[in-house]
Every structure is written in structure tokens, then in C-alpha cells.
């Protein structure tokens, strides 16, 4: 958990990073992102077999 918070503190120094990320997430509305992540994990599982 401490690593995550320090990671976010490091990212906030970039300033304009989070608004862009939030905007992209709102545009995507999570569904295509989750779908592509599932496809990615499935293909990775195929390759690890």
C-alpha cells in the first residue's frame, strides 16, 4: 500500500497527468478497457501454456 501511495505522489508532480487520465477513463467508460484487458490476459494465458 505504501508503494502505491508513493507512486501516486510521484505522479502528481507531473501536474497534468491525472486530468488527462480521468478524461480518457470517462471517454472509454471502462467497458472497452476491461474487455481489452480480458483479451490480453487470455492471450497471455495461451502463451504461458
Q: Give the whole-angstrom CA distance, residue 13 versus residue 29.
A: 26
Buried/exposed 25-37: b ≥16 CB within 10 Å, e otherwise: eeeeeeeeeeeee
Domain count, the chain: 1
Judge whether 24 lies within some domain: yes
Position 1 scores a pLDDT of: 46
Which residues form the domain of 31?
16-49
Judge whether 7 lies within some domain: no
Judge whether 37 lies within some domain: yes
29 by DSSP, 3-state: which? coil
Judge whether 42 lies within some domain: yes
Query: pLDDT band at 8, cuts 50/70/90?
Result: low
- Give percent of the chain with pLDDT exceeding 90: 0
- Please indicate whether residue 19 or residue 16 has the higher confidence score (pLDDT): 19
pTM (2 d.p.): 0.30
Amino acid at each position: 500500500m505504501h508503494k502505491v501511495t508513493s507512486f501516486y505522489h510521484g505522479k502528481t508532480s507531473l501536474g497534468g497527468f491525472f486530468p488527462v487520465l480521468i478524461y480518457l477513463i470517462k471517454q472509454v467508460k471502462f467497458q472497452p478497457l476491461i474487455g481489452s484487458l480480458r483479451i490480453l490476459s487470455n492471450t497471455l494465458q495461451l502463451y504461458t501454456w
